Structure 1
Amino acid sequence: MLRGLLSPKWVGLFAVVLVVVTACTVLGLWQLGVARDEGHKQAVASASQLQPAPLQQVTQAHSAFEAEFSNRPVTVTGTYDDGRTILVVDRRLGDRAGSWVVTPLLTDGGTVAVLRGFVEGLPSTPPAAPAGVVTVAGSLGPTESPRPGAALPAPQRRSVDLAALVNEWPGDLYNVIVLASGETDATSGATSGAGPAAAIATPGLTRVPPPDVDTPLNLRNAAYAVQWWVFGLFAVWMWWKMFRAEQQAEDVPAAQREEIHA
């Protein structure tokens, strides 16, 4: 059998099979990439179609963070507790290194952690939060886990760990983070960043975009990827089947000759 496998005929056919398998593998990986891209486009389209909803209609204080909350657009109205603002260190925004500015927003339904934005470096004093009643527009994100390291001086933190902040911030705490995209003075309706009519602005503070949405695979393209890989396995199976058939055909006359000589 080994001698037959090493014959020029079967070595050549095996080389052809390797080319076919390689092509099927590459095409399958390409279709898998298309499946991810299409799934991402669909997820982004679905998220963009959601209208901002009041936070109290989406979740309540102390409620668990559900998977569908990620990147959910919301609005929430309350008053910033600026004295409890924290700086979350070792963060990046593009190619810039700096800190997140997170301030508790006191609302009728409880306290909400609002990621107001990003500042470069590590300022000694966080940018002041807007005073008075404001309406924050943004998207939801989950709480963070604690990050190991030496204790930091206030108001610095290594993560937005709501399990620790619940013991430091007043009132019932929402189990979400609101990534602010704009702030409105609830008494005047002026929106931050909305041009000349803007009434709220925080110099030096850059909004943090929401994290990328989950990208489930597009099932149709994923199925195409699996089909290409099956075709590759089928080519290997056919090569082996043809080789075994030839070997069995050659073995029969040899057995008959042994019977005649016997």
Structure 2
Amino acid sequence: MYRFLFTPRWLGYLALALAAAGVMVLLGNWQLSRYQERSAINDRIDRADSVAPVPLTSTMDAPDRAGTPGTAPGKDVEWTRVTVTGVYDPANEILARSRTVAGQVGFEVITPLRLPDGTAVLIDRGWIPPAEGDALARPAIPPAPTGTVTVIGKIHLSESKAGTLDRRDGRLETRRIGLPTLAPELPYPIYGAYLLLTEQQPAADPAFVQIEARHENAWQNGGYAVQWWLFAALTLAGFIWLAHREARGPTTPTSRLTEDTTPYAQTP
């Protein structure tokens, strides 16, 4: 009854269905790995505030030359809370423009913190709104503390697609915080990631809004994984249904009996 499955045409259909289902399963597995990766990031973000900060040097390699950032840390240490002590260098402060917090566009202020060994790490001191009238109007920047400062912050990896840098009134401005673009503008080696400031001694200026770690949308990837696996199952089910219909052969509708509606002959 199912011998037709061994014909070249149906073997081709089977190969196509298996190939399509296999690709869909692989796509589902990839989305599952993304779900697991993003879930691990979210777990690390949630745990960060309940874990004591560790020294910066225990999580990242120190940079060894100016002009290029140090080795970027792995994603497994992103959002780790670290502590570091140094002196701010406001002369090389950087403004990141068009940054959105709570639906409002403003600036993030990134100030290098020079360490005793001559290297530096960039500290995102927080977000401030623009001056009146224009989202790109530079506001008054709260000055960085002078003297020795101890910073506690969360590791943030370098952003991609940093684009070009502008210099206005002697201060660097950028759209995204890309360390490979910023490093050549600074006179000392900088670490391969920057820090989102969470605590500082002496205390940070209250004008700053702290930049929060952003949770990943892991459930979206989990949903995509289930969808791809369902598509794979439906592809195979569709092949089985077509094969079953072919095995049954063409069906003809049951003929309906009709009554003889020819009128009787009338007798004279």
For the 8 Å contact 1:77–1:134, the answer to whether it is kept is yes
1:119 to 128, 152, 157: 128
Q: Provide the C-alpha distance between the structure 1 equivalents of 2:92 and 2:204, rounded to a whole number of angstroms.
A: 20
For the 8 Å contact 2:39–2:216, the answer to whether it is kept is no
Give yes or no for the alignment of 1:236 onto 2:244: no
Q: Provide the C-alpha distance between the structure 2 equivalents of 1:78 and 1:65, rounded to a whole number of angstroms.
A: 21
Residue 129 of structure 1 corresponds to: 144
Residue 166 of structure 1 corresponds to: 183
Residue 65 of structure 1 corresponds to: 73
For the 8 Å contact 1:36–1:217, the answer to whether it is kept is no
Q: Provide the C-alpha distance between the structure 2 equivalents of 1:39 and 1:247, rounded to a whole number of angstroms.
A: 50
Q: Provide the C-alpha distance between the structure 2 equivalents of 1:85 and 1:112, rounded to a whole number of angstroms.
A: 12
Q: TM-score, normalised by structure 2?
A: 0.63
Q: Percent identity?
A: 22
* Structure 1 residue runs without a partner (length 5+): 1-28, 186-199, 251-262
Change (3 A) 1:179 1:150: closer
For the 8 Å contact 1:39–1:216, the answer to whether it is kept is no
- Displacement of 1:98 in angstroms is 0.8
2:115 to 91, 107, 113: 107
For the 8 Å contact 1:40–1:214, the answer to whether it is kept is yes
- Displacement of 1:148 in angstroms is 4.4
The letter for the 1-side match of 2:183 is V
Give yes or no for the alignment of 1:86 onto 2:94: yes
In our comparison, the structure showing a higher alpha carbon Rg is 2
For the 8 Å contact 2:157–2:193, the answer to whether it is kept is yes
- Displacement of 1:33 in angstroms is 9.8
- Displacement of 1:149 in angstroms is 6.2
- Displacement of 1:249 in angstroms is 10
* Structure 2 residue runs without a partner (length 5+): 1-27, 64-69, 131-136, 253-268
| 1:152-206 deviation per Cα after TM superposition (whole angstroms, max 9, x unaligned) | 4131411334334333434321111101111123xxxxxxxxxxxxxx1313211
Residue 16 of structure 1 corresponds to: none
Q: Provide the C-alpha distance between the structure 1 equivalents of 2:220 and 2:101, rounded to a whole number of angstroms.
A: 28
Q: Provide the C-alpha distance between the structure 2 equivalents of 1:37 and 1:164, rounded to a whole number of angstroms.
A: 31
Q: TM-score, normalised by structure 1?
A: 0.64
The letter for the 1-side match of 2:236 is F
Residue 212 of structure 1 corresponds to: 215
Change (3 A) 1:206 1:79: same
Give yes or no for the alignment of 1:53 onto 2:62: no
| 1:97-124 deviation per Cα after TM superposition (whole angstroms, max 9, x unaligned) | 1111010001134200000001111435
1:179 to 165, 178, 196: 196
Q: Provide the C-alpha distance between the structure 1 equivalents of 2:229 and 2:165, rounded to a whole number of angstroms.
A: 52
Q: Provide the C-alpha distance between the structure 2 equivalents of 1:87 and 1:169, rounded to a whole number of angstroms.
A: 14
Q: Provide the C-alpha distance between the structure 1 equivalents of 2:183 and 2:230, rounded to a whole number of angstroms.
A: 52
- Displacement of 1:53 in angstroms is 1.4
User: Which one has the bigger helix percentage?
Assistant: 1
For the 8 Å contact 1:71–1:211, the answer to whether it is kept is no
The 10-residue stretch of structure 1 (235-244 or 33-42) with the greater mean CA deviation from structure 2: 33-42
| 1:197-239 deviation per Cα after TM superposition (whole angstroms, max 9, x unaligned) | xxx13132111112435849988x8875555334322331222
For the 8 Å contact 1:36–1:216, the answer to whether it is kept is no
For the 8 Å contact 2:93–2:172, the answer to whether it is kept is no
The letter for the 2-side match of 1:111 is A
For the 8 Å contact 2:156–2:193, the answer to whether it is kept is yes
Task: Describe how 1:196-211 pairs up with structure 2 within 5 A.
Answer: 200-211=203-214
The letter for the 2-side match of 1:132 is G
The root-mean-square deviation of aligned C-alpha atoms, in Å, is: 3.7
The letter for the 1-side match of 2:129 is E
Q: How many residue pairs get matched?
A: 206
